[in-house]
């Protein structure tokens, strides 16, 4: 099974015969198992040439680039092999049809809020959590009453705001925060959320790329230039299902140290290299965790659930089967 490959050290790629090597600044050389890589994540400075990019294209490996602060910068994608004009036309038609787009927007928010509530149920014995859970369940009932995508987005924002506020009720006091801040994250918890969400967006984008979907045509988030907005739509489902449990585990099991695993730069807080590595170890473990799928009747990883969500969306766009978003049953 192919796995993600992460590079933190600065260095360069060198080809020798049919093998590629990563050479760090100290001259240490490590072979790159390209045929075993799913996605390539670059956190350091890497000198590369067209041979390296051609290798990624040949083996259908995507490369996601992050800057020094751990913020997502962009991606390199091989030439898309799974292309379907018919799917793209139908995907565009569902965006242009107000009612069809609204239906899908509601489904993404319905699944996201379901998974937020699911997370809080694990901590409902903690003081104050039940009140936030009741709020989210009440807002959840209002999704069907929304008349426009903008209203759905507004309701989703309110649900997520209350969800984040509930974190102070069950997480270690060292990670308490007042509000969600993104650009830049101003405390350790916001740094964890931002880093985890970036990983989720890129993983969803990679899974979309393996299907016939066009990542630039979305339904909840408004399509625009310079971003793959469909990955934002689908990521709404998986942020509370994958990212947030990773954060809860790292904090509650005291695997992170607010002084040793974070870097404080003026008003910005980011994970340092050691903190990123701890996060990624738990992130990979979560993605590789399997559950018995009720329909497929076999063990399915959390990562593959993302691909299955893409397939369900395609069936809906082609009028084969109405889209019902994932609701974790385990």
User: Where is average pLDDT lowest: 57-71, 125-139, 249-263, 264-278?
Assistant: 57-71
pLDDT of residue 225: 62
- Work out the burial of residue 120: count CB atoms within 10 Å of its CB; fewer than 13 is exposed, 13-18 middle, 19 or more buried: buried
Average pLDDT over residues 96-101: 98
Which tens digit of pLDDT belongs to each residue from 204-233?
999 999 999 999 999 999 987 667 899 999
Strands (DSSP E) found in 137-272: 262-265, 268-271
Instruction: Count the neighbouring beta carbons within 10 Å of the beta carbon of residue 2.
Output: 14
Average pLDDT over residues 314-320: 96
Q: How far apart are CA 169 and CA 173, in angstroms?
A: 9
Please check the confidence at residue 243 and state whether its pLDDT lies above 90: yes
End-to-end CA distance of the chain: 24
User: Where is average pLDDT lowest: 55-64, 109-118, 237-246?
Assistant: 55-64
Q: Angle, nearest 10°, between helix axes 302-317 and 188-209?
A: 50
Q: How far is CA 258 from the centre of its chain?
A: 23
> Where does the pLDDT of residue 141 fall: very low under 50, low under 70, confident under 90, or very high at 90 and above?
very high
Range 290-294, long-range pairs (CB < 8 A, 24+ positions): 291/330, 292/330, 294/329
Please check the confidence at residue 1 and state whether its pLDDT lies above 70: no
Q: Which residues contact 139 (CB under 8 A, 6 or more apart)?
A: 113, 155, 158, 159, 162
pLDDT of residue 81: 67
pLDDT of residue 178: 84
Instruction: Count the neighbouring beta carbons within 10 Å of the beta carbon of residue 38.
Output: 18
Percent of the chain past pLDDT 70, that is, above it, reads: 98
Q: How far is CA 160 from the centre of its chain?
A: 16
Percent of the chain past pLDDT 90, that is, above it, reads: 70
Please check the confidence at residue 159 and state whether its pLDDT lies above 90: yes
Please check the confidence at residue 35 and state whether its pLDDT lies above 90: no
For 174-184, letters b (16+ CB in 10 Å) and e give ebebeebbeeb
Q: Angle, nearest 10°, between helix axes 188-209 and 229-238?
A: 120
> Where does the pLDDT of residue 128 fall: very low under 50, low under 70, confident under 90, or very high at 90 and above?
very high
Cα separation values, 237 from 37, 177, 193, 305, Å: 25, 23, 15, 11
Please check the confidence at residue 42 and state whether its pLDDT lies above 70: yes
- Against a cut of 0.85, is the pTM above it? yes
């Amino acid at each position: 099974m192919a796995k993600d490959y992460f590079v933190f050290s600065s260095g360069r790629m060198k080809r020798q015969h049919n093998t590629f090597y990563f050479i760090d600044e100290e001259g240490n050389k490590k072979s790159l198992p390209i045929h075993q890589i799913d996605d390539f994540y670059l956190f350091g400075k890497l000198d590369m040439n067209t041979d390296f990019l051609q290798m990624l294209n040949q083996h259908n490996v995507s490369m996601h680039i992050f800057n020094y602060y751990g913020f997502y910068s962009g991606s390199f994608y091989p030439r898309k092999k799974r292309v379907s004009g018919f799917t793209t036309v139908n995907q565009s038609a569902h965006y242009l049809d107000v009612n069809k787009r609204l239906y899908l927007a509601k489904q993404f928010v319905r699944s996201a809020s379901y998974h937020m509530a699911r997370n809080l149920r694990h901590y409902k014995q903690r003081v104050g959590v039940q009140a936030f859970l009741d709020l989210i369940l009440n807002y959840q009932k209002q999704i069907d009453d929304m008349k426009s995508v903008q209203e759905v987005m507004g309701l989703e924002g309110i649900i997520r705001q209350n969800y984040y506020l509930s974190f102070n009720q069950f997480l270690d006091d060292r990670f308490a925060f007042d509000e969600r801040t993104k650009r830049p994250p101003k405390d350790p918890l916001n740094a964890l959320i931002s880093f985890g969400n970036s990983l989720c967006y890129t993983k969803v984008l990679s899974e979309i790329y393996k299907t016939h979907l066009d990542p630039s045509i979305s339904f909840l988030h408004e399509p625009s230039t310079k971003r793959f907005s469909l990955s934002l739509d689908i990521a709404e489902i998986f942020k509370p299902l994958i990212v947030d449990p990773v954060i809860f585990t790292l904090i509650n099991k005291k695997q992170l140290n607010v002084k040793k695993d974070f870097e404080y730069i003026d008003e910005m807080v980011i994970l340092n290299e050691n903190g990123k590595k701890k996060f990624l170890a738990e992130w990979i473990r979560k993605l590789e965790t399997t559950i018995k799928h009720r329909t497929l009747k076999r063990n399915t990883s959390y990562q593959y659930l993302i691909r299955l969500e893409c397939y369900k969306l395609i069936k809906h766009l082609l009028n084969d089967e109405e889209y019902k978003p994932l609701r974790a049953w385990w």
